[in-house]
Structure 1
């Protein structure tokens, strides 16, 4: 184990330093209060060994409160859907970034985390991965166990944080759009309209009328894109419901994997 101490710009700057210091070929990121199920590392290493072209691998993600598993973060990526499903997942869903392992070659190819994003740098990284034509593999074995608590940054409902999140999404959409294929440009334009619309509503509730009007105007500028984004978001929500019905019953209340 190697401990790196010193000031960081933000958490993603610290993650970049970890990548630079890592000596292995496969890299994962684990928060201090999270854990891997015992079989996870072995299963992931076996998959990378058997699939040399694999650059990114997602394992299941479980939610834990105290000592009990209370839920599972589901994605259509887990179910082997196509590349469009991955784009929708990363734009509108909850990618559960810490449930991924990456081959070092991926960082050489698409770069490190962009520290300009305080909150959404992990989503930006995954979107850049897709933009480079790299699709993640999915593994049914093992699990990343996410500790759910009141101060959780990932699942927080704090309004100020959500607004900052949405603003970073607008920056990401603008920056990525110039370097992707036309089909992905369309998806990014729709996502940008959706996030601007959401931002405008939240700013309006806070009484920031000028900023709300500017955000809303950005969202409504392309009404077709916004309408299609709303449909995509609704479609993803429905897909989540179907996934929740398709997984084995009894996840909630299970004990942590032994």
Structure 2
């Protein structure tokens, strides 16, 4: 990959006026500047489009038309994009200023096809509630785990990988991202990297998924694992415990720093 590659960031949004400005600002304030930013709106009825329009040419493309859900919007945005590197950021999440720069370093220096970082969970007022550390497991252990051990906003991938995988499966409403990354892991020779820094914030708020949606998400996840013939390894509980331990040990270290 060439130095200073173009990075395409896609934000799918529908009636997202409450947090959209903070999302947009987090992209526009990146330390790395060679970014193509595409906003894909699903024909919102609030002020979403007006907010996007305020930023003028800072947003490379603003698409507003009915769609068939978030993953349809993301696929649409990717098709309209030109970057060698692709990522998407939902309209209530934010990037930390160095995320794109750190990701580009992985792609250009280590020739990876996917990279991911650590994530901070925040509430509706942007107050931190939890930290999740992405875990750099081996390829075989990731397949055995049965889920992706990182938060979606911290991930980026190459366009060539996106094309090889075939984009996001729009038959999934909730877990097409998990399905996408698992399909990527099944490809021979896929190289990925963990950026051991906090690179994004994932927002948890009342407008998020309901209990009913959470149940539907669980069913979709089970369907994805079956479809991909994910190994039902006896190691899965142990690997899951390891991932949780890594996150808890990180939290303990943070608390100790506060009291010393």
TM-score tier, shorter chain, comes to: 0.5 to 0.7
Unaligned runs of 5+ in 2: 1-58
In the alignment, is residue 176 of structure 1 matched against residue 228 of structure 2? yes
Q: Which has the higher contact order (CA 8 A, sep 6+)?
A: 1
Distance 1:251 1:151, change over 3 A: farther
More strand by share: 2
1:203 corresponding residue in structure 2: none
Cα-to-partner distance string for 1:82-112 (whole Å, 9 max, x where unaligned): 11222244x2465422210111111111111
Residue pairs, 1:1-258, within 5 angstroms: 1=59, 2-51=61-110, 53-65=111-123, 66-77=125-136, 81-89=137-145, 91-92=146-147, 95-133=150-188, 134-153=190-209, 158=211, 160-177=212-229, 184=230, 187=231, 190=232, 228=234, 232=236, 234-247=237-250, 249-250=253-254
Compute the TM-score of the two structures, normalised by the length of structure 1.
Answer: 0.67
Compute the TM-score of the two structures, normalised by the length of structure 2.
Answer: 0.67
Give yes or no for contact 1:43–1:142 (8 Å, CA) kept in 2.
Answer: no
Give yes or no for contact 1:19–1:27 (8 Å, CA) kept in 2.
Answer: yes
CA distance in 1, matches of 2:241, 2:62: 43
Unaligned runs of 5+ in 1: 178-183, 191-224
Matched length: 196
Which runs of 4 or more aligned residues in structure 1 lie more than 3 Å from their structure 2 counterparts after TM superposition? 92-95
Give yes or no for contact 1:117–1:168 (8 Å, CA) kept in 2.
Answer: yes
| RMSD (Å) for aligned C-alpha atoms | 2.6
Larger Rg: 1
1:209 corresponding residue in structure 2: none
